[in-house]
């Protein structure tokens, strides 16, 4: 259980805080020696690892230093999470008591981190353990890391296990996809995928991909993400060699486990997964522009349909209607494809080109961004017509939806030009949009050149690439506020949360 150890967390916190590039110093967990049985925890939180007196001392400190954000009864506040919920506990099951100790010591109180001594932190931790229903005992909770490392959060009081086999890797549950606690981001220029802990911003792992990973989609049930390898050496309008692969990433292992070769098709850009059928759709630039379909179980392309536009960009699917939609930046329509017959259906006029595209889970709307204009296009997929155009100040670029489809989040960026050259130093924004009423809501500044975005399964947080900053922003959606910035490798592009 090395991946949450404190050292990379400390280095990363420093790197983010000073906006410096401390990359060379960052250790990735994969480079660390695996835990040996000699360091396996011997005790758990069920073994009475703190005393009543210590928890009382901790209660006083907690009231002074933590309660105003996490609430006196630990149930959490506006942005601070509960410290006694099932979710909190499941976050920590499988980890050591030292991991939580370090988490608090290094990052809390959030407005004055590092101000608690180890003893004070241990006392507060004793109080938290008490409130979480773990039994008290006869010995105080130690403040030394070596001792705390040998104590583990266990979900259930272990049965008297006398000499049984060691259980399998304890971080399994923690690694399973679908919890929304980890971020995977594909960094286009660096040709890496990085994995971060959402709560701490800690770098968990950093892996190489084929040259220039681009968009990403996730299949939470299967525990995999797909990454398109679109262009090997430049952006969509300037590259020389296209990519012709889609790579498969196992989210539990945090590894590339296979590569789907899409030849003779090439330049796969947008991806959309029909989870039910296991079919993965990609917009490609090959053959004058096409949509291809791959069977992810067989890992091969099983069909394609020409859409006849040179750079089909993003793609959205409405499985209930068997339709796919491609946004086309430099062509004045959205292309609609019949996925059952695999044939083009029709073009929906979009005079200033389109950018991102997304379909609501109920299939009621398809929202398309604007490449040159500033309106959001609302398409009715039953009629394949633009039924509303909603005006904004800047071109709506890309989208994410809350999991229930009730809120749309839109990124905006103004590339601007100076001396005839594009500049990336204009502020970028995220704006909320209510799907039921089709009304825009709160807007916030997020960073430079926001490119892609995803929302956590609990609908509380968005992760936004601020691509020109070489960072991702973690946004609290209730407050529409950036609560954390995490440095990434160069040019973060595809992003998913799992
Ligand atoms: C100013 C507000 C504030 C104060 C004071 C504060 N916290 Fe937090 N805490 C937060 C926020 C916000 C988060 C979630 C964001 C983050 O992880 O940084 C958080 C997260 C945490 C987490 C991680 C929860 C999880 O689900 O893993 C722990 C543990 C924690 N705080 C403990 C404490 C303790 C103990 C104290 C007192 C010493 C404290 N906090 C004081 C705001 C605060």
Q: What is the CATH number of the domain that holds 140?
A: 1.10.760.10
Query: How far is Cα 360 from Cα 157, in angstroms, rounded to an integer?
Result: 43
Q: Examine residue 487 and state whether it is found in any structural domain, yes or no.
A: yes
Give the burial class of 148: count Cβ atoms within 10 A of its Cβ; 0-12 exposed, 13-18 middle, 19 or more buried.
Answer: buried
Boundary residue ending a domain (143, 165, 187): 165
* Together in a domain, 225 and 339: yes
CA of 110 to the centre of ligand 1 (A): 6
Q: Examine residue 299 and state whether it is found in any structural domain, yes or no.
A: yes
* Together in a domain, 469 and 450: yes
The confidence score (pLDDT) of residue 32 equals 38
The better pLDDT of the pair 284, 8 is held by 284
* Together in a domain, 288 and 238: yes
CA of 66 to the centre of ligand 1 (A): 7
Ligand 1, closest atom to CA 92?
27
Boundary residue ending a domain (165, 200, 229): 165
The confidence score (pLDDT) of residue 225 equals 96
Locate all alpha helices (DSSP H) within 132-227, ordered by sequence.
Answer: 145-149, 172-175
CA of 10 to the centre of ligand 1 (A): 16
Q: Which two tokens stand for residue 45?
A: 């939180």
166 pLDDT more than 60? no
Ligand 1, closest atom to CA 87?
26
Which residue CA neighbors atom 17 of ligand 1 most closely? 199
The confidence score (pLDDT) of residue 360 equals 96
Ligand 1, closest atom to CA 484?
18
Boundary residue ending a domain (165, 187, 215): 165
> Can you tell me the mean pLDDT for 137-150?
91
* Together in a domain, 119 and 198: no
> Rounded to whole angstroms, what are the CA distances from 159 to 153, 155, 485?
15, 12, 42
CA of 171 to the centre of ligand 1 (A): 22
Please enumerate, as own/partner, the contacts of 16-21 that have beta carbons within 8 Å and a separation of 24 or more: 16/201, 16/484, 16/485, 16/486, 16/487, 19/487, 21/487
CA of 47 to the centre of ligand 1 (A): 25
* Together in a domain, 105 and 74: yes
Q: What percent of the chain has pLDDT over 70?
A: 87
Ligand 1, closest atom to CA 201?
17
Separation of first and last alpha carbons in the chain = 19
Question: Residue 355 in contact with residue 397, Cβ under 8 Å?
Answer: yes
The angle at the Cα of 186, spanning 185 to 190, to the nearest 5 degrees, equals: 125
Ligand 1, closest atom to CA 128?
35
Q: Examine residue 28 and state whether it is found in any structural domain, yes or no.
A: no
User: String of b and e for 239-269 (b: at least 16 CB within 10 Å)?
Assistant: beebbbbbbbbbbeebebeeebebeebbbbb
Look up the domain containing 343 and give its range: 174-497
* Together in a domain, 298 and 331: yes
Backbone φ, ψ for residue 145 (5° rounding): -55, -40
Q: Distance of alpha carbon 75 from its chain centroid, rounded? A: 25
Residue 111 burial (CB count, 10 A): 8
Q: Examine residue 36 and state whether it is found in any structural domain, yes or no.
A: no
- What is the count of structural domains for the chain? 2
Query: How far is Cα 374 from Cα 104, in angstroms, rounded to an integer?
Result: 45
Probe residue for ligand 1, chosen from 73, 108, 114, 179 as the CB with the greatest number of ligand atoms within 8 Å: 108
351 pLDDT more than 80? yes
CA of 178 to the centre of ligand 1 (A): 23
- Specify the CATH number for the domain of residue 375: 2.130.10.10
Query: Is the sign of the CA dihedral 368, 339, 245, 260 positive or negative?
Result: positive
* Together in a domain, 335 and 403: yes
CA of 113 to the centre of ligand 1 (A): 10
Stretch among 4-8, 59-63, 301-305, 464-468 having the lowest mean pLDDT? 4-8
| Cβ contacts of 24 within 8 Å, gap of 6 or more | none
* Together in a domain, 241 and 151: no
CA of 201 to the centre of ligand 1 (A): 13
The confidence score (pLDDT) of residue 419 equals 77
pLDDT tens readout for residues 416-459: 777 777 778 889 999 999 999 999 999 999 999 999 999 999 99
Q: Examine residue 233 and state whether it is found in any structural domain, yes or no.
A: yes
Q: Examine residue 459 and state whether it is found in any structural domain, yes or no.
A: yes
CA of 140 to the centre of ligand 1 (A): 23
* Together in a domain, 352 and 481: yes
Q: Examine residue 337 and state whether it is found in any structural domain, yes or no.
A: yes
CA of 404 to the centre of ligand 1 (A): 28
Probe residue for ligand 1, chosen from 80, 83, 99, 120 as the CB with the greatest number of ligand atoms within 8 Å: 80
Which residue CA neighbors atom 43 of ligand 1 most closely? 110
* Together in a domain, 226 and 111: no
The confidence score (pLDDT) of residue 169 equals 33
Question: Residue 109 in contact with residue 67, Cβ under 8 Å?
Answer: no
Question: Residue 173 in contact with residue 83, Cβ under 8 Å?
Answer: no
Q: Examine residue 60 and state whether it is found in any structural domain, yes or no.
A: yes
Ligand 1, closest atom to CA 200?
17
Query: How far is Cα 450 from Cα 396, in angstroms, rounded to an integer?
Result: 11
49 pLDDT more than 70? yes
CB under 6 Å to ligand 1: residues? 65-66, 68-70, 79-81, 83, 88, 91, 103-104, 107-111, 116, 124, 199, 483
pLDDT band at residue 19 using 50, 70 and 90 as cut-offs: very low
The confidence score (pLDDT) of residue 94 equals 81
CA of 482 to the centre of ligand 1 (A): 16
Single out the residue of 353, 296, 302, 301 nearest to residue 327, CA to CA: 353
* Together in a domain, 88 and 190: no
Question: Residue 375 in contact with residue 433, Cβ under 8 Å?
Answer: no
Which residue CA neighbors atom 9 of ligand 1 most closely? 80
Give the CB-side neighbour count of residue 279, counting CA atoms within 13 A.
18
Residue 489 burial (CB count, 10 A): 18
* Together in a domain, 386 and 307: yes
């Amino acid at each position: 259980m090395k991946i949450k150890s404190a050292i990379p967390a400390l280095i990363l916190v420093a790197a983010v805080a000073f906006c410096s590039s401390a990359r060379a110093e960052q250790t990735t967990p994969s480079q660390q020696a695996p835990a040996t049985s000699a360091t396996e925890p011997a005790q758990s939180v069920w073994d009475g690892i703190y005393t009543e007196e210590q928890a009382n001392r901790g209660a006083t400190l907690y009231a002074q230093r933590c309660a105003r954000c996490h609430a006196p009864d630990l149930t959490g506040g506006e942005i601070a999470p509960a410290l006694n919920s099932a979710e909190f506990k499941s976050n920590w099951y499988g980890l050591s008591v030292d991991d939580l100790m370090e988490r608090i010591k290094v990052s809390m109180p959030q407005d004055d981190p590092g101000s608690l001594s180890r003893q004070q932190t241990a006392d507060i931790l004793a109080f938290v353990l008490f409130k979480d229903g773990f039994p008290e005992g006869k010995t105080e909770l130690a403040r030394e890391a070596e001792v705390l490392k040998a104590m583990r959060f266990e979900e259930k009081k272990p049965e008297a296990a006398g000499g049984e086999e060691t259980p399998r890797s304890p971080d399994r549950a923690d690694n399973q996809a679908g919890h929304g606690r980890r971020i995977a981001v594909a960094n286009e220029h660096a040709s890496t995928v990085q994995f971060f802990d959402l709560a701490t911003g800690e770098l968990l792992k950093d892996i190489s991909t084929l040259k220039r990973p681009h968009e990403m989609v996730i299949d939470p049930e299967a525990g995999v993400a797909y990454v398109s390898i679109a262009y090997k050496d430049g952006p969509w309008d300037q590259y020389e060699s296209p990519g012709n692969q889609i790579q498969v990433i196992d989210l539990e292992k945090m590894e590339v486990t296979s590569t789907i070769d899409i030849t003779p098709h090439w330049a796969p850009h947008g991806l959309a997964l029909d989870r039910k059928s296991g079919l993965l759709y990609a917009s490609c630039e090959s053959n004058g522009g096409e949509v291809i379909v791959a069977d992810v179980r067989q890992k091969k392309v099983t069909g394609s349909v020409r859409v006849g536009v040179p750079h089909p960009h993003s793609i959205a699917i409405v499985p209930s209607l068997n339709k796919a939609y491609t946004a086309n930046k430099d062509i004045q329509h959205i292309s609609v494809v019949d996925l059952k017959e695999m044939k083009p259906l029709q073009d929906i006029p979009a005079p200033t080109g389109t950018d991102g595209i997304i379909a609501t889970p109920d299939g009621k709307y398809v929202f398309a961004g604007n490449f040159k204009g500033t309106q959001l296009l609302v398409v009715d997929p039953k009629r394949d017509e633009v039924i509303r155009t909603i005006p904004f100040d800047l071109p709506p670029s890309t989208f994410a939806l809350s999991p229930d489809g009730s809120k749309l989040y839109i990124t905006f960026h103004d590339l601007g030009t100076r001396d005839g050259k594009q500049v990336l130093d204009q502020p970028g924004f995220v704006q909320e949009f209510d799907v039921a009423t089709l009304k825009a809501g709160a807007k916030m500044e997020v960073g430079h050149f926001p490119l892609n975005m995803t929302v956590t399964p609990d609908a509380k947080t968005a992760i936004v690439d601020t691509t020109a900053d070489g960072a991702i922003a973690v946004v609290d959606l209730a407050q529409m506020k950036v609560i954390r910035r995490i440095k990434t490798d160069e040019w973060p592009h595809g992003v998913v949360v799992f």
